[in-house]
Chains A and B, each alone.
Chain A
């Protein structure tokens, strides 16, 4: 049974049109992460929530926002997607920051 679920698996949006990716988990983990992974690159952490506390990485563009309305759900909002934002977006969870992370299967975002 999938424990970290990302929807949709594939998302196509137009240049500049806001898009939201979603992640849900059944593990009741208190930490949720969003990573961006471009082709043949390392997954790059965008931000994470430790409970309700939002932690943004210093080099994450302002164009990327996140919401965590409850323990189970976390959203990634891209306000004005550019062509360079086409990538795989991975959600992960962990029990505590220093614990092993569990990943969803990702959402592949394409920009037209």
Chain B
């Protein structure tokens, strides 16, 4: 059973508009969430993270929002650029529990296409 779900396999957005990628999780022990970006033929690269003590974290054009009660997080990209076209993976861990609980559980990814 998937503990981290990205229900949209793909998303297409016009350049300059907002991209919103969604992620849901089921394990209430998760307390640390990350987004990774993956270009074809490359490994995932870290984009942004958020701890469960926060509900928002911002880094330039990228903002992650966390709604703990809904077990939902989202990544907002504003404004979207063609170079943002990639697969975005959501990941979660139960970091504060220590040991292997800190391992990352990934979603299946959402392929974002930003059209010029």
Contact = CB atoms under 8 A, between A and B. Distances in A.
A6 B29 CA distance: 32
Interface in B9-47: 9, 32, 34, 36, 41-46
Nearest to A58: B100
A7 interface: no
Interface residues of B, number: 27
Contacts of B107: 42
A54 to B, nearest CB: 12
A108 to B, nearest CB: 9
Contacts of A106: 43
B43 to A, nearest CB: 3
Interface of B: 2, 4, 9, 32, 34, 36, 41-46, 49, 89, 93, 95, 98-100, 102-109
A90 B100 contact: no
Interface in A79-104: 90, 92, 97-98, 100-104
Contacts of A92: 43
Nearest to A97: B102
A97 B100 contact: yes
Given A42-B2, A42-B105, 12 more contacts: A41-B108, A42-B4, A43-B44, A43-B106, A44-B106, A48-B103, A97-B103, A98-B95, A100-B34, A101-B104, A103-B36, A103-B44
A28 B92 CA distance: 24
A54 B2 CA distance: 25
Given A42-B2, A42-B89, A98-B93, A103 B106 contact: no
A100 B103 contact: no
A109 to B, nearest CB: 15
A100 B46 contact: yes
10 contacts: A6-B43, A42-B2, A42-B89, A43-B44, A43-B89, A97-B98, A97-B102, A98-B98, A102-B46, A103-B44
A4 B43 contact: yes
Contacts of A42: 2, 4, 89, 105-109
A36 B75 CA distance: 25
